[in-house]
Amino acid sequence: MTLPSRMFNGVEYFRRPQIYHTKKDANEAAKWWKDEGYKVRIIRSSHKNGKIIAWYQWLMRIENMRILIACEFSGIVRDAFAKRGHDAWSCDLLDTERPGQHIKGNVLDILDDGWDMMVAHPPCQHLCVSGARWWAEKQADGRQQAAIEFFIALMEADIPKIAAENPPGILTKAYRPPDQYIQPYWFGDEAQKKTGLWLKNLPKLVPTNIVDRGKIWVQKNGRKRGAAWTMCLPPSPDRWKIRSRTFEGIAEAMAEQWGGKIDSE
Ligand SMILES: C[S@@+](CC[C@H](N)C(=O)[O-])C[C@H]1O[C@@H](n2cnc3c(N)ncnc32)[C@H](O)[C@@H]1O
């Protein structure tokens, strides 16, 4: 049976056929569904002469996964999964910027702690093509190899579903090409930052809201080019943090599209 569906905060819920005549009854029934692992929204939907006569339950099946957001200080991806009911934890060498479940330390030490999914944001400064002029030096002193090995250790972790992101760079040759490249402006943020996603048992992200590419950069010869968002930031001590925070639109898309099955019955 296909149930009527409706979007709440970008997530599709399905309506149960039962009608409740009081909100109390609907709430009572909701308790049972919540214990069964559903997220329940109760919506009043019929009126007669200004009087509410029925309440409906809208259900979303939650798999309630235990999710590790590796190398994240911002809490942005963690919170996108957490608000959909998952047991999501960020991990970084730094403190979390906003309150939430966070493990401060080396992520390699907690990869075997029983996660269902990992979304990883490993450092890119020794890997990305925008720093290619320093590659010879970083290859000579081993920094690039260490960064490659860190990335591969994350991808090869014994976790059923894995996504790791990084900008275009040496990983394509040293490891393998990403499964897809994405852009923030595909997900509602007016900015360009080409980002590769390496995926294990997760589908490619589908654009949710394609908007303007953001700032235009006019070259000396007058030619206009879309400027990468990272180039538009003024120097500041926090510049690397601003540049590396995940865009909210991408975080929402990850949580919506990877955050578990939505059940139609
Ligand atoms: C490119 S930033 C990613 C930031 C992320 N997108 C966010 O929104 O917070 C890389 C992060 O990896 C962290 N990191 C580096 N090595 C790590 C390790 N071994 N364990 C945990 N975090 C690590 C750094 O502290 C840095 O915050």
9 and 123 co-located in one domain:
no
156 shares a domain with 55? no
Q: Is 92 in the pocket of ligand 1 (CB under 6 A)?
A: yes
DSSP string, 180-227: EEE-GGGBT------EEEEEES-PPPPPSB------EEE-TTS-EEEP
What pLDDT does 236 receive?
75
State the average pLDDT for the chain: 86
Q: Rounded to the nearest 5°, which phi and psi values hold at 25?
A: -60, -40
Could you tell me which of 48, 53, 43, 50 has the C-alpha nearest to residue 22?
53
Report the pLDDT value the prediction gives residue 63, as an integer from 0 to 100.
Answer: 63
**Domain match, 79 and 209 both:** yes
Distance CA 88, CA 117 (A): 9
Pair 75, 140 in one domain: yes
244 and 195 share one domain:
yes
Confidence at residue 252, expressed as pLDDT on a 0 to 100 scale? 94
Same domain, 233 and 249: yes
- The mean pLDDT of 240-249, rounded to a whole number, is 90
Q: What total number of domains does the chain contain?
A: 2
Positive or negative, the Cα torsion across 179, 199, 87, 262?
A: positive
Q: Do 148 and 127 contact (CB within 8 A), yes or no? A: yes
pTM across the whole model = 0.76
Query: Is the domain of 75 the same as that of 42?
Result: no
Are 73 and 45 within one domain? Answer: no
pLDDT at 245 over 80: yes
Q: Is the pLDDT of residue 165 over 60?
A: yes
E strands of 62-176, at which residues? 66-70, 87-92, 102-104, 117-120, 161-166
CA distance 180 to 206: 10
For residues 55 and 87, state if they share a domain. no
The verdict on residue 265 lying in a domain is no
Q: Which of 92, 154, 238 has most ligand 1 atoms within 8 Å of CB, for mutation?
A: 92
pLDDT tens digits along 174-204: 999 999 999 999 999 988 999 999 999 999 9
- Whether ligand 1 lies within 6 angstroms of the CB of 73 is answered as yes
- Asked if residue 165 and residue 146 are part of one domain, the reply reads yes
* Residue that wins the pLDDT comparison between 227 and 111: 111
Residue 45 Cα distances to 42, 58, 112, angstroms: 9, 11, 47
The residue whose CA has the least distance to atom 20 of ligand 1 is 106
What percentage of the chain reaches a pLDDT higher than 70?
84
3-class secondary structure, 253: helix
Q: Which of 13, 32, 61 is the last residue of a domain?
A: 61
The pLDDT of residue 154 is 98
**Alpha carbon distances (Å) from 42 to 23, 32, 205:** 8, 13, 30
CA atoms within 13 A on the CB side of 183: 15
Domain-located, residue 121: yes
The verdict on 91 and 120 lying in the same domain is yes
Stretch 56-78: mean pLDDT, rounded? Answer: 87
Residue 264, domain member (yes or no): no
Residue 93's CATH number: 3.40.50
Which residues form the domain of 46?
Answer: 5-61
| Domain co-membership, 163 together with 108 | yes
